[in-house]
Structure 1
Amino acid sequence: MDLSVMFFGADDASTVGHATKYEDILAITRAADRLGFTAVWTPERHFQQVGQVFPNPALLSAALAVATERIHVRAGSLVLPLHHPLRVAEDWAVVDNLSRGRAGVSVATGWHSKDFVLAPDGFADRRERAARDIGLLRRLWAGEAVEFTDGTGERVAVTPQPRPYSAALPLWTTTSGSPATWEAAGRLRTNILGATIGQTREELAGKIRLYREAYEAAPEQPGAPARGTVTLMAHTYAGVSDEQARRLAGGPLKAYLKSYVAQTAANNAANKGADGRTDELTDGQLDTLAEFAFQRYLTWGSLLGSAQTCRKSLADLADLGCDEVACFVDFGLGVDEVLAGLHRLAELRENI
């Protein structure tokens, strides 16, 4: 099984500054590169506390590409309906050249209407746009001239430049858990980026089977591998013992979960035009939900514990059909703890 590093943080950078956060990301990525991790994933987020230092994965991936030697640099995720596919092809071709073929992109549809101030016309049909533009992105990456409307209203054929280093761009579809998205990813013959959070082991096993069956039945797609990669994000800290790992990770992770739940409730209210009551959870209610989620993670779905505990969790995910675990590390731990945890994971990685 492959192990990667996922950044998805929610901590407030106001006390230390965003520049320090970028320094930490670079330090962690360089260490992951030296330790043999497969990839580093950075998300696209706008106007929120969650992921406030990640507005542009292509820009950050370009910096990470020149700071590393072998680790793959991937968007996890890129909100495709916010962008013209030509722009995506151009930006990631730069990353692909800078990294000598280490670029990859997971496509998301977007989840919050406020994000779409960047592309107001793209919100209502964002799922259809994302599915359509995946095929278009593959054609553009392959060097095919595609017609678009220019500034005078005329249709003109354009080929994006620069040309990428790789013949095909590795593509994932991001899912928040819907079985329909797992199946759609299979039909499109993309890899899939999901998470262990919010579902049981049995539910996840069923979704992986659904994806594999859809992928096998789908027609071949340009640049798509014969078998798709299932990548799962899991909150991760490998400690010297279970007790130490849970003691160090417990406070930061519960604070992160509290922030995430509050933001999700507010987003759901905004997207659905609700009356705002879901945005009025009390601190006590948020604390209860965060504690419940944390205790559930200790039972299943996280890499929180000793190296031996993490080994068992990884073996279980491999049995389910997971090919890669994206280790979500920036949920509030200090950079020194994150680096120490990565070293412990690297020691057991070869035996998984």
Structure 2
Amino acid sequence: MDLSVMFFGADDASAAGHAAKYDDILTIARAADRLGFTAVWTPERHFQQVGQVFPNPALLSAALATATERIHLRAGSLVLPLHHPLRVAEDWAVVDNLSRGRVGVSVATGWHSKDFVLAPDAYEDRRERAFRDVALLRRLWAGEAAEFTDGKGERVSVAPQPRPYSAALPLWTTTSGSPQTWEAAGRMRTNILGATIGQTREELAGKIGRYRDTYAAAPGQPGAPPTGTVTLMAHTYVAGSDEEARERAGGPLKAYLRSYVRQTAADKGAGGRAAALSEEQLDTLTGFAFQRYLTWGSLIGSPETCRKSLADLAELGCDEVACFVDFGLGRDEVLAGLERLADLRGSM
């Protein structure tokens, strides 16, 4: 099983905190590169406390391309309806050249209504737009010209530049858990980026099985591999013991979960379902979620506990775990946890 590093948090509110956070990301990415992790995933987030330093995964990946040597650099995720497909192809072609072919992109439909101040007309049909543009993105990456409307309102044929280093762009589809999205990824023959959070092992097993069957039955797509990769995000901190892991990760992870619930509450598209929660209810909810993570779905614990979790995920059909590391732990703790995880992987 492949192990990667995923960034998804970062709650520093000050400008100085943001600058330091980019230093942390570069340092952790270099360590992951040295330790043999497969990829670094960076998200696209806008206007929220959670994910403040991640407005553009292509921009950050360009910096990581010059700071690393072998590790793959992936968007996890890119909200495709917020962008023109031509711009996506051109931006990631730059990163592909800088990294000598180490890029990958997971396409997301988007979910938070506030994100779409960048493209308000794309919100209502964001799912259809995203899945439609996957095929177009593949063609543009391959160098095919396509017709678009120019500044004069005329249709013109253009092809993106620069040309990418790689012949095909590795693509994932991001899912928050919807079975329909798992099936859509199979039909499009993209890899899939999901999470262990918010579902039981049995539910996840069913979705992976459905994805595998749909992928196998779908017609071939340009640049798509014969079988898809299932990548699952899991909160990760490998400590010397289970007790140490709970003690060090508990506070930061609960605080992260509270921030995430507040972000969800601010989404007008969610209908305000989480907005009415009191502080006491938030404490109860986050405490329950943390205990559930310790039981299943995380890599939080001793090396032996995490070894068992990885074996379970492999049995489930997971090909890669994207280890979510920046949920509030300090840089030194993250680095120490990655060292232990690398040692664990080497012994499996």
TM-score, normalization by structure 1 = 0.97
- Look up the equivalent residue of 1:141 and give its one-letter code: W
- 2-structure distance, mates of 1:157, 1:16: 45
- Look up the equivalent residue of 2:184 and give its one-letter code: A
Query: What residue number does 1:228 align with?
Result: 228
Select between 93-102 and 147-156 the one with higher mean Cα deviation. Answer: 147-156
Q: Retained in 1: the 8 A contact 2:12–2:18?
A: no
**1:297 matched to 2:304:** no
Q: What are the superposed Cα offsets for residues 176-204 of structure 1, whole Å, 9 maximum, x if unpaired?
A: 00000000000000000000000000000
- Look up the equivalent residue of 1:63 and give its one-letter code: A
Percent of counterpart pairs with the same letter?
A: 83
1:103-118 map, 5 Å: 103-118=103-118
Query: What residue number does 1:327 align with?
Result: 323
Q: Retained in 2: the 8 A contact 1:187–1:215?
A: yes
Query: What residue number does 1:178 align with?
Result: 178
Structure 1: segments with no counterpart, 5+ residues:
none
1:50-89 map, 5 Å: 50-89=50-89
**1:346 matched to 2:342:** yes
Query: What residue number does 2:251 align with?
Result: 251
Q: Secondary structure at the residue paired with 2:274?
A: helix
Q: Retained in 1: the 8 A contact 2:325–2:334?
A: yes
Query: What residue number does 2:155 align with?
Result: 155
- 2-structure distance, mates of 1:135, 1:117: 25
The correspondence for 1:271, drawn from 263, 269, 282, is: 269
- 2-structure distance, mates of 1:20, 1:282: 33
- 2-structure distance, mates of 1:277, 1:218: 37
- Look up the equivalent residue of 1:255 and give its one-letter code: A
State the superposition RMSD in angstroms: 1.0
**1:284 matched to 2:280:** yes
Q: Secondary structure at the residue paired with 2:333?
A: helix
- Look up the equivalent residue of 1:172 and give its one-letter code: W
Q: What are the superposed Cα offsets for residues 211-243 of structure 1, whole Å, 9 maximum, x if unpaired?
A: 000000000000000010000000000001111
Q: Retained in 1: the 8 A contact 2:264–2:274?
A: no
Q: Retained in 2: the 8 A contact 1:6–1:326?
A: yes
Query: What residue number does 1:315 align with?
Result: 311
* Cα gap change, 1:351 to 1:215, in 2 (>3 Å): farther
Aligned length: 348
Note the C-alpha offset of 1:52.
Answer: 0.5
Q: Secondary structure at the residue paired with 1:279?
A: coil
Note the C-alpha offset of 1:14.
Answer: 2.1
Q: Retained in 1: the 8 A contact 2:196–2:234?
A: yes
Structure 2: segments with no counterpart, 5+ residues:
none
- 2-structure distance, mates of 1:285, 1:133: 41
Q: Secondary structure at the residue paired with 2:163?
A: coil
- Look up the equivalent residue of 1:334 and give its one-letter code: G
Q: What are the superposed Cα offsets for residues 111-169 of structure 1, whole Å, 9 maximum, x if unpaired?
A: 11111111111101000000000000000000001111111111111110000000000
- 2-structure distance, mates of 1:19, 1:12: 10
- 1-structure distance, mates of 2:301, 2:23: 27
- 2-structure distance, mates of 1:33, 1:13: 28
1:80-99 map, 5 Å: 80-99=80-99
Moved over 6 A (4+): none
Query: What residue number does 1:139 align with?
Result: 139
Q: Secondary structure at the residue paired with 1:278?
A: coil
Q: Retained in 2: the 8 A contact 1:10–1:259?
A: no
- 1-structure distance, mates of 2:13, 2:33: 25
Note the C-alpha offset of 1:277.
Answer: 6.5
Note the C-alpha offset of 1:15.
Answer: 7.9
Q: Secondary structure at the residue paired with 1:261?
A: helix
